[in-house]
Amino acid sequence: MIPLLVRSHFSLGWGTSSPDRLCARARELGYDRLALTDTNNLYGLWDFLSACRRHGIVPIVGAEVTDPETGRRAVCLVENQEGFSNLCRILTRRHCQRGFSLERAVKVFPEGLTVLTDSARLLSAWCREGVRTAGLLTCAPSSRNRLLAEAAQRLGVHLVAAPDSFFATPEEAPVHRLLRAISQNTCLSRLEPGDCALPDAWLAGSDEYTRRFAACPEAIQASHEIAERLAFTGPAPALVMPPWKEASGRDAAAILRQDAYAGAQKRYGRDLPENVVERLEHELAVIRDMNFSSYFLVVADIVRKSPRVCGRGSGAASLVAYCLGITNVCPVKHNLYFERFLNPGRTDPPDLDIDFAWDERDGVIARVLGEHPGRAAMVCSIVLFQPRMAVRETAKIFGLPEAEISRVTKKLPWHWRESAADEGFLDSVCQRPETQGLSFPEPWPEIMALARRLLGMPRHLSVHPGGVVLTPDAIDGYAPLEMAKKGVPVIQWDKDGAEEAGLVKIDLLGNRSLGVIRDAVDSLTENGAHLPDRWEPEDDPATQAAVAMGRTMGCFYIESPAMRLLQKKARVGDFEHLVIHSSIIRPAANDYIREYVHRLHGGEWDPIHPLLSDVLSETYGIMVYQEDVSRAAVALAGFSHAEADRLRKVMSKKDREHHLTDYRERFFSGAAENGVVPETAAQVWDMILSFSGYSFCKPHSASYARVSFQAAYLKEHFPAEFMAAVISNQGGFYSCFAYVSEARRMGLALLPPDVNQSRIAWHGRDRKLRVGLMAIRSLSEACRCRIVGQRLKGSFSCLEDFLARVRPNEDESRALILAGALDRFEDESGRAGLLWRDARWRKIREKPGQMELFRETVHGVKAPAMPPEAPLDRLRREFSVLGFLCEHHPMELFRGSLAKVWTVPAADLARHAGKRVRTAGWLITGKVVRTKHNDPMEFLTFEDETGTLEATFFPEAYARFARILDHGRPYLLEGKVEEDWGTVTLTVDSAQPLAATTDA
Amino acid sequence: MERSIIHLNVADFAVAVERACQPRLRGRPVIVASSGAARASVYDMSDEAFSAGVRKGMPLFQARRACPDAALVDPRPGAYVRAMEDLSAPGLSFSPLLEPGQGDGHLFVDVTGTSRIHGPAVDVAWRLGRHAKSLLGLSPAWSVAPNKLVAKAATRVVKPRGECIVGAGEEESFLAPLSLSLIPGIEAPDLAALHRFNLSTAGEAAAWTPDQLWVPFGSRAFFLHDAVRGRDASPVLPPGARPPAVIETREFSPDTNEREVLEGALYTLCEQAGARLRAMGRASGGARLSLEYADAVRTPRQAGIKPASACDPVLFAAASRAMATAWTRRVRVRKMTLVFDRLGFFPAQMELFPDPGVRRMEKVCAVLDQVREHFGPRALQTGRTLEAT
């Protein structure tokens, strides 16, 4: 018996086991071949193939395809490469073609496939057409499959035993029921029998199947015969390059050469320096030999049509890319390492990643897809059950109310750490400082136990933010496609799957800051100012000074608290150092940062080893960039470029631990051969280990540093325009609230929203910042557009005029009034009076009903007397619709409760260095990190009217206070003021939330 | 004619009853909730527990954390209904117009025009209060006012104990300084809207004319206009004056979304209601089912019964139809209330083509009633109710 109908958890909502688990189980049961036939997809193909390699199983590739109209199904098993392409085509049509018919699809693409079906009708139809087919028996012959048996006999085809299997072992049946209930949006007790698989649908051993099919042993035998035919064990590895076709029929390499030289002359002038020519030649040769010329041309073509892009990643190290306009930083000037991007030993496809302004990105992708119809698709990303989602979905099945669920889930981590998986889920959740004070009465233990089993299972497919693949001919011959919800075609594999399939991905990503810079520049031009003709912001002294002081909130890539603190400590603001700083900030590099600042300020140091002095000369002997890992491995331990590159890649993988052991040995022996003493080798290895998780390569940081400088320049010289663009583009590191406070600290005047003045976006001019209509919560997009549209026809003259022309709904009116956007129409009864007049306007428009009598007179009803609005109420209401206050810092609302407590304002902390103080601040952002001992701690940023304050909650304080810390609230803090290279932080030992008072 | 309405308000009634039964509970915080259930919620709590942050409907574990030293008592709704009857009983000797709440410690007595027989209304109220004190060991808040609304507002003002007398013509001036949240019938959405107009006391709201109120509040304006002035013409309704109906409720502790449990409970309620209907010699023409979910969402639904019946399976069929439209969420159900109304006598005219199945079931029900009367309600049970008990 060979199991031919096996589903993994990639049969979403049905299967429960990973391909790895299935293969391991199959091996235990003594199988040497196994088919994976997920329903209507090949999501799990690459996982399955690698699991088969690990467990020594010969894979059979296939899929179960269903007919949405008739409910009939077929199991398509792949015999050869052509069959694989045909399966991809059938699956693509299953997802993308309206009126899909399984019968027809198999007739059109029969080659290379063996098709099993349990429908007598399909069996006859396909047999007539010569499709290689057989009858599918999921259980022993009985009256239920009599028709199929008769048809098979009549047609002279085999009946094959292929029992349905949805889980590896019987113990997974409850998880299956849970998944079914989640998919059906119901609870366990309301699942109907047809909603679930049969209880025996697990992957059983040969003996069990022989017993089940005792009445029909030939069906078992047939599974062997069929499996013999299926020699296909996965698609042949080959890189699929995007096509470049030109009318002249010239070779892509020749065109690339011409374009690169033309671009170089634009960048460097007509007479190219020798080193540029040398490097161009070298790069062009590598690119030609590796066959990447067309890839460069396709990317250059995409970029050429967009006004503002920023290359990211290692691609920025390529001079060819720079000359083609794909990237914006000169790799020769900044000494960027081309081998990090491309080297002849590299077998995986390179990545040229490009950023577009976030709101232009979708248009670019649509254009690329449109220009290559049928030959382009996006890469998918498979969304897995993470702790929050798993617990939420399970708790809903158990019928817990929303409030009770979110009380728990909001304390859970977003992502699951593998190390905690060994302990009980509930136990590890209970140990988290965030969950202190929560209790888990029945049925929570059961929920947690079940939810634990969902973790890591795929939940649904979504679209990778920017990965596009292009193929030389129809893409559905390479990969199965489906339509994503937002209407774009996606391949059924994520970026790793696409890489395994040899599909070269182009990343077209969205970047908020490119939008910020665009808007700020547009705005300053509109205000009559202009940028210098040759805009070199990195050479501007004022900008450099601002960067050196960490005054970069709102500036791309360098605005996080950690980055700003480092800038302040370093006190340098030039381009080269900024590139170092934005790369050295990594989770595990704290010690090296400290050492770096020390050396920067003149501390003595020697190169760690003479062999490395060249490699690390520009970074004060400290490994900063991702490629320093490979370069150090090459220089110190004699790694080949390709080998060193693999080491670098392993550092960012989740399962790096077991790979690293081999590399470590190789590194130490190589270093010894070069005469490096073990102690030094160990020091360098430790430094290499600090690149675990994420790290940055120099080309990437340099490319981004350019954008950072542009932002910093605009902030320094056009603060109002810049801050308006930052807030309007949203999605920065901080909330709107924090940016508003920053604007106020910069001395900008904040003008309240106003229906006659505000635009949809925020607008800055002459150090004044006008709140945009977008800031008012619960104001619909359509209403904002109507306000601006109507204003073109003339300003609003009174409230009634505004209402009549804009017709906002009741919630929108209320929000506008409470936000102060209609204050210009206020009379002595204040905003309450506006609300009442708004209600009167609605009454007049109401459809005639039983209140007809009043309607006649409603025009004449005078506004009633209303008590004056308490100032604090007014501010509270304003805060509730805007999320910030225009004329005050919300901390002022809490001054009443602070009256009896002596606190130090944030701006004065520096004067109390080394002392214990008490201070009060509004929590604006925070970042949880882990110490060397894996204890969680948090860096939090608070602010008050005078400035921001960086607070550190070490593990002990974090354990005590994590559960009360919530963004967007004020706290009273106590702790010690620490000073380090001119920066001030507060090490907190006590925190308590601040209660609101009613007295202003 | 000037009316005199007495209102008696025993604060935290369930706690008061429990304290009357168990003196050890006096002088310490008390939470009434099912202790056996894993996910019980608070049924009622004493004033001390309220101050500590405990609220009705709050999950018990949370309540216990808020008030760890509170004594925990299992709720006994039957006992509260009986206590309510005891509380109201002496009222009947003063007036037939007596409106007790549903086991919640509220009692209205209309003593209009009885002063010549029983003495002034205040004396009657004082006597009723004294009776409550002897019954429960604590004096309730009581008030005398010209109508129910003002009477209730008055006891809210003096709660937990004390008395308040509002004379005819003083209603408006009495309410004027009070916070709008104390006016009965003004609920959260109205309050929020009133606050937006900077109105916080009844007096401020009373300055508005009906048409000014009508502008933002529509048809609610007339109620609001009267309420803030202390005008209320609603009569005191004795239980008998309400339309007849058979009401059965079931609280689930722990709350549940298990189909077997809910259907079993529904059948049990139909059996109980059926037995009561048959004992009354009435048939019901309609079922109303209300499910209350754990997040306090309520879904009331109804289904007609034609011809009217008192036979369990027929009642269950109607209740199930209501259930099919009421039970649409995954959230657990906390309480099920089943009402059979449109009661009438069995039709004297026999059906021309009676359903033989129903005839048989009617006979079975009659036999079941006899067996249960002799041997207790659990003597014979249908299979589906086993899961629910």
Domains and CATH numbers, chain B: 5-11+80-132+140-229 (3.30.70.270), 13-79 (3.40.1170.60), 243-386 (3.30.1490.100)
A521 occurs within a structural domain: no
Beta strands A113-117; A73-78: pairing state:
antiparallel
The amino acid at A5: L
A212 occurs within a structural domain: yes
Q: Cα separation of A749 and A14, whole Å?
A: 58
Dihedral sign (CA B373, B374, B380, B381): positive
Would you call B216 and A836 a contact, using CB atoms and an 8 Å cutoff?
yes
Would you call B215 and A865 a contact, using CB atoms and an 8 Å cutoff?
no
The amino acid at B342: R
Instruction: Give B-chain residues touching A868 at CB under 8 angstroms.
Output: 198
Would you call A867 and B204 a contact, using CB atoms and an 8 Å cutoff?
yes
> Which band of pLDDT confidence, cut at 50, 70 and 90, is reported for residue A686?
confident
Is residue A295 over pLDDT 80? yes
Which one is predicted more confidently, A692 or A979? A979
A403 occurs within a structural domain: yes
Helix (H) or strand (E) holding A74: strand A73-78
CATH number of the domain at A186, please.
3.20.20.140
Same domain, A772 and A815: yes
Q: Is the Cβ–Cβ distance between A657 and A562 less than 8 Å?
A: no
Which one is predicted more confidently, A587 or A647? A647
Same domain, A862 and A899: no
Instruction: Give A-chain residues touching B295 at CB under 8 angstroms.
Output: 401-403
pLDDT in tens, A378-391: 999 999 998 889 99
Whole-angstrom Cα Rg for chain A: 33
Domain boundary among A194, A229, A264: A229
How many structural domains comprise chain A?
A: 5
pLDDT at A998: 43
Residues 6+ apart with CB under 8 A from B267: B312, B316, B382, B384, B385, B388
**Phi, psi of B261, deg, nearest 5:** -65, -45
**Minimum CA–CA partner of A831 in chain B:** B197
3-class SS of residue A867: coil
A936 occurs within a structural domain: yes
Same domain, A816 and A777: yes
Best CA proximity match to B33, nearest among B17, B48, B14: B14
Beta strands A936-943; A948-953: pairing state:
antiparallel
pLDDT at B387: 65
- Select from A190, A403, A868 the Cβ nearest to the Cβ of B295: A403
Same domain, A175 and A61: yes
A690 occurs within a structural domain: no
Quick one: tokens of A386? 């993470």
Domain ranges, residue A260: 252-376+466-475+490-512
Would you call A866 and B197 a contact, using CB atoms and an 8 Å cutoff?
yes
Give CA A584 to chain center in angstroms. Answer: 22
pLDDT in tens, B181-211: 999 989 888 999 999 999 999 999 999 998 8
pLDDT in tens, A844-864: 887 665 555 555 566 778 889
Helix (H) or strand (E) holding A510: strand A505-511
Same domain, A81 and A209: yes
CATH number of the domain at A980, please.
2.40.50.140
Would you call A397 and B330 a contact, using CB atoms and an 8 Å cutoff?
yes
- Sequence length of chain A is 1000
**Minimum CA–CA partner of A844 in chain B:** B215
Helix (H) or strand (E) holding B85: helix B77-88
pLDDT in tens, A406-430: 888 888 877 665 544 555 777 777 7
Would you call A861 and B38 a contact, using CB atoms and an 8 Å cutoff?
no
Instruction: Give B-chain residues touching A400 at CB under 8 angstroms.
Output: 294, 331-332
**Minimum CA–CA partner of B217 in chain A:** A839
Q: Cα separation of B112 and B117, whole Å?
A: 11
Q: What is the mean pLDDT of chain A?
A: 89
Q: Cα separation of B126 and B128, whole Å?
A: 5
Same domain, A295 and A433: no
Q: Is the Cβ–Cβ distance between B174 and B155 less than 8 Å?
A: no
In percent, the amount of chain A with pLDDT more than 90 equals 56
Same domain, A208 and A283: no
CA distances in angstroms from B229 to A219, B109, B182, B183, B385, listed in the order given? 88, 22, 13, 10, 52
Same domain, A919 and A813: no
Is residue A652 over pLDDT 60? yes
Same domain, A326 and A202: no
Same domain, A277 and A340: yes
Same domain, A315 and A446: no
Q: Is the Cβ–Cβ distance between B174 and B203 less than 8 Å?
A: no
CA distances in angstroms from A195 to A179, A190, A191, A454, A458, listed in the order given? 11, 10, 6, 19, 20
Burial class (CB in 10 A: 0-12, 13-18, 19+), A745: middle
Strand partners, B288: B302, B339
A29 occurs within a structural domain: yes
> Which band of pLDDT confidence, cut at 50, 70 and 90, is reported for residue B33?
confident
Instruction: Count A/B contacts: CB-CB distance under 8 Å.
Output: 97
Residues 6+ apart with CB under 8 A from A661: none
A352 occurs within a structural domain: yes
Q: Cα separation of B124 and B133, whole Å?
A: 14
Beta strands B141-145; B162-165: pairing state:
parallel
pLDDT at A855: 54
A919 occurs within a structural domain: yes
Q: What is the mean pLDDT of chain B?
A: 88
pLDDT at A586: 77
Query: What separation, in Å, do the N-terminal and C-terminal C-alpha atoms of chain B show?
Result: 53
Quick one: tokens of B38? 């894993």
pLDDT at A999: 42
Dihedral sign (CA A975, A976, A980, A984): positive
Mean pLDDT of A271-286: 92
Instruction: Give A-chain residues touching B61 at CB under 8 angstroms.
Output: 439, 441
Same domain, A110 and A86: yes
Q: Is the Cβ–Cβ distance between A484 and A424 less than 8 Å?
A: no
> Which band of pLDDT confidence, cut at 50, 70 and 90, is reported for residue A277?
very high
